[in-house]
């Protein structure tokens, strides 16, 4: 057991970035599943704003994934292919009951991703290890992604409040 939040090696950093990739893949896959899973009448009732939110979430996750993969490449590690994660999401997927359920799940996605990057940044900043990739580039990428996740949380919250 290791007490204290800090990233202490390239290997551990690569593993955490891999987990980040999987989280993004889960977001991307669930967003796609949500749109397909709603019953016909509910699907039609999903307004353009919610539809646009899900499409944007999937695109943003794909972009984050690519940026994380570029970092992982420099650490000589590999990532799990999207198709594999998509299949796992598919196997365990339980569709939300309605549009509010979809929005709530999307909020969880964004909040979880934000929390993950926030903790990861803290753990990297708490470490004085010299990684195989440039620390500034690593942190800049993670700051940017964290900021976008924060905006994502705000965006979903806004839509939920409008609908309440």
Partner 1 sequence: MNTADQYLKAIYLAQRMEEGPASTGTLAELLEVSPASVNEMIGKLEGRGLVEHEKYKGASLTDEGLERAHDALQTYCIIERFLANVLEVEEFRDEARTLESVIDDTVADRLDTIIDRPAECPDCFDPERDCCERLEVCGPAN
The first and second tokens of residue 42, run together, are 């509910």
In the complex, the residues that contact partner 1 under the rule CB under 8 A are 1-5, 7-8, 12, 15-16, 18-19, 22-23, 26, 30, 80, 85, 88-89, 91-93, 108-109, 111-112, 115-116, 119-120, 123
Residue 110 near residue 54, CB atoms below 8 Å? no
112 or 157: CB nearest partner 1: 112
> Number of H helices and number of E strands within the chain?
6, 0
7 or 138: CB nearest partner 1: 7
123 or 139: CB nearest partner 1: 123
45 or 87: CB nearest partner 1: 87
CB of 71 to partner 1, least distance (A): 16
CB of 135 to partner 1, least distance (A): 17
Residue for token digits 């409040």?
Answer: 161
Q: For residue 138, what are the contacts with CB-CB under 8 A and spacing of at least 6? A: 13, 71, 124, 131
The first and second tokens of residue 90, run together, are 């598919």
């Amino acid at each position: 057991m290791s007490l204290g939040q800090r990233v202490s090696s390239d290997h551990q950093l690569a593993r955490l970035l891999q987990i980040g990739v999987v989280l993004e893949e889960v977001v991307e896959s669930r967003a796609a599943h949500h749109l397909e899973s709603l019953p016909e009448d509910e699907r039609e009732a999903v307004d353009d704003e919610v539809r646009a939110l899900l499409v944007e979430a999937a695109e943003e996750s794909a972009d984050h994934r690519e940026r994380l993969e570029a970092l992982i490449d420099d650490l000589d590690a590999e990532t799990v292919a999207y198709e594999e994660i998509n299949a796992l999401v598919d196997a365990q997927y339980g569709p939300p009951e309605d549009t509010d359920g979809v929005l709530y799940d999307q909020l969880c996605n964004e909040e979880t991703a934000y929390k993950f990057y926030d903790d990861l940044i803290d753990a990297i900043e708490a470490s004085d290890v010299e990684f195989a990739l440039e620390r500034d580039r690593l942190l800049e990428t993670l700051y940017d992604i964290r900021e976008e996740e924060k905006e994502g949380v705000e965006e979903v919250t806004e839509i939920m409040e409008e609908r309440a």
